[in-house]
Amino acid sequence: MRIALFVTCLVDALYPRVGQATVTLLERLGHEVVFPAGQTCCGQMHVNSGYPREALTLVRHHVDVFEDAEVIVAPSGSCAGSVRHQHAALARDAGDDALAVRADAVAARTVELSELLVDVLGVEDVGAYYPHRVTYHPTCHSLRVLRVGDRPLRLLRRVAGMTLLELPEAATCCGFGGTFAVKNAATSTAMLADKMRHIVGTGAEVATAGDASCLMHIGGGLSRLGAPTRTVHLAEILASTAAAPS
């Protein structure tokens, strides 16, 4: 299958290894990955900060770039969630019904990585090998906007050599929330502290999730504390093999 990668601005600029792992994984599974070069950002930060007009420019750009793609995958529940649940609504609110129809069409073909693997490609065992103790944090938007359910866990359970440790109160937010982490830094940090306590308590070497943004938050906190747990994106675990470990 020819799959268009929407790598997301955060991964592009700060976590290229997550995009690389997504490409490695999908190519290993025998698929063709394309990277529409004009792509930038879904505009979620603008919408969620109260700037829908500025976001609309980015929505129009995103639709222009991805309109011809057959399937679009993002290694992010949050950015895929914005494309699916915010783009057309923004266009409609702005009175641009033509753009809304086009945005709806792009949204219908946009999936997050675990949805692509389980639902579109019909695979749960991706042939990964990752000999580590891992705990999984289901990010809010993958869970409650996209409703990915246990798809990431089904993929992780088939990873050879890995010990999957259950995270207490897993479904509770880590406190990132985009600009919330800065505007309400104290509350965000209080939420992060509880998330980190649960993660470290599992004894895991690695905390994983499907969103680089939440991992940036959790990982930034763990690093500041000097905690023994590091953060690794789901795509990096699934891309790892015995021959080419990540």
Partner 1 sequence: MSRAFLGIPAIGVPAAGPAALGAPTVGVPTVGAAAPPGVGHLHASRPFPAAARDALADPQLRRNLGHATGVIRAKRAAAVAELDDWEQLRLAGEAIKRSTMASLDTHLVRLEAEVTARGGTVHWARDAREANAIVTGLVRSTGADEVVKVKSMATQEIGLNEALAAAGITAVETDLAELIIQLGEDRPSHILVPAIHRNRGEIRDLFLRTMPDVDPQLAAEPRQLAMAARAHLRRTFLRARVAVSGANLAIAETGTLAVVESEGNGRMCLTLPDTLITVMGIEKVLPSWSDLEVFLQLLPRSSTGERMNPYTSLWTGVTPGDGPRAFHLVLLDNGRTAALADRVGRDALHCIRCSACLNVCPVYERTGGHAYGSIYPGPIGAVLSPQLTGLHRGSDGGGGGATFNASLPFASSLCGACFDACPVRIDIPSLLVRLRAAAVDAARDAQRLPTPEALSMAAAAHVMSSPARFAAAESASRLARLAGRRTGRLSALPWPLSAWTATRDAPRPPAETFRQWWSRTHPDRP
What is the contact surface with partner 1 in residues (CB under 8 A)?
7, 9, 11-17, 19-20, 23, 34-41, 43, 45-52, 54-55, 57-58, 60-61, 140-141, 143-145, 171-173, 175-192, 216-217, 219-221, 223-224
Reading the block at residue 166, the tokens are 């259950």
Strands 206-209 and 133-136: parallel
Cβ closer to partner 1: 24 or 240? 24
Q: Which residues contact 101 (CB under 8 A, 6 or more apart)?
A: 88
Cβ closer to partner 1: 177 or 210? 177
Cβ closer to partner 1: 84 or 141? 141
Cβ closer to partner 1: 157 or 183? 183
Residue 47: in which H helix or E strand, if any?
Answer: helix 44-49
Dist. CA 98–CA 100, nearest whole Å: 5
For the bound state, the minimum distance from the C-beta of residue 87 to partner 1, rounded and expressed in Å, comes to 13
Contact assessment for residue 179 and residue 115, using Cβ atoms and an 8 Å cutoff: no
Q: Which residues contact 173 (CB under 8 A, 6 or more apart)?
A: 140, 191, 195
Cβ closer to partner 1: 37 or 243? 37
Cβ closer to partner 1: 78 or 114? 78
For the bound state, the minimum distance from the C-beta of residue 140 to partner 1, rounded and expressed in Å, comes to 4
For the bound state, the minimum distance from the C-beta of residue 160 to partner 1, rounded and expressed in Å, comes to 27
Dist. CA 172–CA 144, nearest whole Å: 11
Token pair 């207490």 in the structure block, residue? 168
Dist. CA 113–CA 178, nearest whole Å: 21
Contact assessment for residue 175 and residue 195, using Cβ atoms and an 8 Å cutoff: yes
Grouping H, G, I as helix, E, B as strand and the rest as coil, residue 166 is: coil
For the bound state, the minimum distance from the C-beta of residue 124 to partner 1, rounded and expressed in Å, comes to 26
For the bound state, the minimum distance from the C-beta of residue 164 to partner 1, rounded and expressed in Å, comes to 23
For the bound state, the minimum distance from the C-beta of residue 46 to partner 1, rounded and expressed in Å, comes to 6
Contact assessment for residue 209 and residue 233, using Cβ atoms and an 8 Å cutoff: yes
Cβ closer to partner 1: 114 or 188? 188
For the bound state, the minimum distance from the C-beta of residue 157 to partner 1, rounded and expressed in Å, comes to 24
